[in-house]
Amino acid sequence: MLRKSESGTPPAGRTRVPRRFRSLVGAVRTHPTLAVLVSLVGLAALSTALHTLLVGRVHGPFVFMDELGYERMAQSFAHTGHFSLFGKGGLAYS
């Protein structure tokens, strides 16, 4: 009669690792901190590459006109303590 390990199925709690990945899995198990560091650096590199690829498609930030008006109102409130837009008091454009 064959034991479980001889039957070709991995013991409970373990998964079968292909031969080509055994050294990698062994390295990750012995140096988990290094594995996390390599993963984070790889993720940052992938993010940078994706950002570089997509940055050519966007020509600049998109700002709505009302946002510029609210920015002016915030400036007037900071300088005078009152809301005004284009020299007129109030909270609206009209």
49-56 average pLDDT score: 88
Residues in the chain: 94
> Distance between CA atoms of 7 and 10, rounded to whole angstroms?
8
Of 26-40, 48-62, 80-94, where does mean pLDDT reach its minimum? 80-94
pLDDT at residue 40 is higher than 90: yes
Token pair recorded at residue 76: 């007037």
Name the band, by pLDDT with cuts 50, 70 and 90, for residue 49: very high
